[in-house]
Chains A and B, each alone.
Chain A
């Protein structure tokens, strides 16, 4: 990853979320600092990175989901130009955890930071098409998430509607 790209990602994120950079070794500490308990999470899927030894529960139930203050999930890509992350859908319930909890903590490898929208589409464009044929490993659903959920329906911008009202992004240096 280029530090330039990380910098432009952080500046695009601006006030919509908080970005933390972490080494693999520091990950446990970084997550522990960020989350508010009770916290719930799904497997991150990065080598050397796990939610063991953190306050984050990984046994997802609907009640745990409703009670959690924080949800920790993997993200697939981050887009530097927009300060956006893409959240995958999987059979562990990443979509639910990233959506129902008031604070969302998304974790991804810094090498998954792409410069712009075109690059993001190129990457998962291929993945979506392939998957529809072969049921490969590429997630079939991605949500571009940019900052907290919001509405202007009540007359002015209000943050935190049906989705989280606070977002943290942990970039794990993997190279």
Chain B
């Protein structure tokens, strides 16, 4: 049954994936976690302290958009400018082509040894393999690259290739490789390791025939390369040997020198949290520096310098033509998206990576240069939490690229024997061949609807042993997890029987019955109704479909688009009546405010975007505009229903916001309101709970999800006697599971008693 093309059942495949992720977490997780979390915090601080961050992000984005648009003209221009400077430009259509060109230059120069500074593009081309196979010596001069070259491993991060290795592991590697024992053996002191590696590498740079660098940017007008480094190895690599080969993707071209300014000021802030790296070279080769011949102790004239610029297409022109992948070409490879990603922090690029590229944007690069299949394993590790988006210096919608690639992979999948069974329950717009697990979560609304005709029967079936076994076999749902139970009565059933209860309403408000509130947790909806009514709003809860978040997170773009259209149709007459739409679930609000821009016609999107609010953002606004917070349940006032139910009267609250809520800048409304209501509010510095909708339920990812969640729980520390509240469904679930207690939505804490 359900036999996969690579052999084994899908359950076996999911288990194997879970085991692989666990072993990478064990080996790489600690170092990666320490380095990425530090960089992420420094970067947040650097962005915050710099008053031009947003302006320059906008300018940088524009420059890249225009440069990619005008790429053919820039390619013409760079050939002329480099040639007039005295260098040669080679256009390489593929990796093979590039490697052939490089080997030919080596042969023509009669070279034996090449030193290299760090370059992801040369990793993509596998330049080292090509040269070594042809009999040349290749030495990496960036210390991190040097480490992984000795270890024969792949980079685990865009800018920190050896980030997964601890100093102790590096010491062992050096001691083994160079046979250092006894007093000669190196300790795990980073100073000692750096000094040792510097000596080893330094010798090689002085002897090399050819120096190879990448380029962060290439200026078409002048033939100038921008190289961003801290160590100084790229500077030495470029000017010490007589021949310099620079290898760069064609997307690195920008028109003029002044275009480099925004990137100069942003790239380090984004990637490492420095204001600038130690060195940023604006290098226009062949340079005027005389050539030092250390053996002969002479300086040769600079006229002897050779410079070759190898510009690599390898799929990039096709990416440029691809409306969805084009944005990937704006990436300046700063690594910020990886550092800000909770799953990346746990795993690093050996799990969250493809053949060459790592982290969230790696999916776009892999799909573009190595083919969609190479992005297959990594793509699901992006949960769409969106925390990378505000960090990207060129404003790339990284989650969207992951969604698109997932959608393409879904469509390319093989037909599966369970399709017929699943099809009956899952009326989506997707092609057959979709992974049944994705189909299950993507169509959760239909399943919930069907199930809620007889919630007890459904719940009993799901939580029974055979039921869980079936869920794990059919849909890959982790058997340690309990799927949320369906409520006895949906929110709309309750509200239909109860009706609005407000004497003299000031305004009419639509409460969006999100899937989770409607079917699984009507309590948060009832609390929202009570709070809104206490602030003189008449509440309407019309039937509105699921936002499309569920299918979108499984990469089912067309289904999500259908959902978006239906949501808009269901709300349009409400909007026509001038009613505001209030949303409890942040991931659904983020659909209305962000993703719908891609799914709906512009006027429909704008209308929904401008008139929808997160519940406590709205309540905050009401209180700012004349309503009184004293109408709600405050710390000093009457107990809210949830406090009565949990028998907990507390003035201290540990609050966890939601990733997308943070990206939308809405976290502070909740913390301020709770403080205004007299609570003392604690928040954690860890941003992600790790659950991310369906992610934590999936057999293969449950372990990663738990590890991310535990970081959060560690950060919160002791919560005895506190109420833990969270804004997102998934966060409520995850924290509830970690703390083994009910974790309500903050609106429940503010609900006045007696609204039922």
Contacts and interface: CB of A to CB of B under 8 A. Distances in A.
B66 interface: no
B292 A62 contact: yes
A155 interface: yes
Contacts of A160: 194
B292 A96 contact: yes
A160 B299 CA distance: 25
Contacts of B222: 128-129, 131-132, 140
Contacts of A60: 290, 299
B279 A145 contact: yes
Nearest to A155: B167
B231 interface: yes
Contact of A151 (B84, B231, B239, B294): B231
Interface string B265-289: 1000000100111111111100111
B297 A163 contact: no
Contacts of B261: 117-118, 121
Contact of A61 (B147, B264, B287, B297): B297
A128 B302 contact: no
A66 B201 CA distance: 15
B266 to A, nearest CB: 11
Contact of B232 (A92, A141, A163): A163
B40 interface: no
B85 interface: yes
Interface string B31-64: 1000100000000000000000000000000000
Interface string A34-70: 0000000000000000000000000011110110000
A163 B160 CA distance: 19
A142 B222 CA distance: 13
Interface in B220-235: 221-224, 230-233, 235
A163 B197 CA distance: 14
Contacts of B81: 132
Q: Which among A142, A148, A149 has the greatest number of chain B C-beta atoms within 10 A?
A: A149
Interface string B69-98: 000000000000100110000000000000
Contacts of B275: 82, 146
Given A121-B260, A146-B275, A163-B278, A91 B190 contact: no
Interface in A113-150: 117-118, 121-122, 124-125, 128-129, 131-132, 139-150
Contacts of B719: none
B193 interface: yes
A33 interface: no
Interface stretch (B136-144, B615-623, B654-662): B136-144
A174 interface: no
B258 interface: yes
A63 B167 CA distance: 33
Nearest to A16: B278
Contact of A153 (B160, B239, B260, B282): B160
Interface in B440-484: none
B294 A152 contact: no
A173 B288 CA distance: 29
- Of the listed residues A63, A90, A95, A131, the one surrounded by the most CB atoms of chain B closer than 10 A to its CB is A95
B143 A140 contact: no
A153 B35 CA distance: 10
A24 interface: no
Contacts of A125: 256-258
A60 B282 CA distance: 24
B637 interface: no
Nearest to A98: B235
B257 A124 contact: yes
B208 to A, nearest CB: 13
Given A129-B222, A143-B280, A154-B170, A96 B194 contact: no
A148 B201 CA distance: 18
Contact of A144 (B219, B280, B299): B280
Interface string B201-229: 11001000000000000010111100000
A91 B288 CA distance: 5
A117 B235 contact: no
B297 A162 contact: no
Contact of A82 (B144, B233, B276): B276
Interface in B244-266: 256-258, 260-261, 264-265
B527 interface: no
B162 interface: yes
A103 interface: no
Given A121-B257, A146-B278, A132 B221 contact: yes
B236 A99 contact: yes
A158 interface: yes
B370 to A, nearest CB: 26
B278 A148 contact: yes
A25 B297 CA distance: 35
A15 to B, nearest CB: 14
B281 A154 contact: no
Nearest to B165: A155
Nearest to A163: B232
A144 B170 contact: no
A162 B290 CA distance: 19
A80 to B, nearest CB: 13
A154 B169 CA distance: 10
Contact of A155 (B190, B205, B221, B258): B190
A28 B230 CA distance: 32
A162 B202 contact: yes
What size tier do the contact residues of chain A reach? 35 or more
Contacts of A154: 143, 167, 170, 190-191, 193-194, 197
Contacts of B235: 95, 99, 143, 162-163
Nearest to A90: B288
A173 B191 CA distance: 38
Contact of A149 (B197, B230, B299, B302): B230
B289 A96 contact: yes
A96 B142 CA distance: 18
A121 B256 CA distance: 11
Nearest to A64: B297
B26 interface: no
A156 interface: yes
B293 interface: yes
Contacts of A156: 167, 190
A89 B283 CA distance: 9
B55 to A, nearest CB: 11
B601 to A, nearest CB: 39
B231 A132 contact: no
A119 to B, nearest CB: 10
B177 interface: no
B30 to A, nearest CB: 11
A160 to B, nearest CB: 8
Contacts of A140: 85, 222, 224, 284, 287-288
Contact of A150 (B201, B278, B299): B278
B157 to A, nearest CB: 11
A152 B277 CA distance: 12
Contact of B292 (A65, A117, A162): A65
B264 A117 contact: yes
A1 interface: no
Given A128-B224, A132-B84, A150 B297 contact: no
A60 B84 CA distance: 29
Interface of B: 31, 35, 81, 84-85, 141-144, 147, 160, 162, 165-167, 170, 188, 190-191, 193-194, 197-198, 201-202, 205, 219, 221-224, 230-233, 235-236, 239-240, 256-258, 260-261, 264-265, 272, 275-284, 287-290, 292-294, 297-299, 302
* Top 10 A-B pairs, shortest CB-CB distance: A163-B232, A162-B232, A153-B144, A154-B190, A155-B167, A140-B284, A161-B231, A149-B232, A153-B143, A125-B258
25 contacts: A89-B287, A89-B289, A90-B289, A95-B239, A125-B257, A125-B258, A128-B222, A129-B257, A132-B81, A132-B284, A141-B287, A143-B235, A144-B279, A145-B279, A146-B276, A149-B231, A149-B232, A153-B144, A153-B194, A155-B190, A161-B194, A161-B231, A162-B202, A162-B231, A163-B231
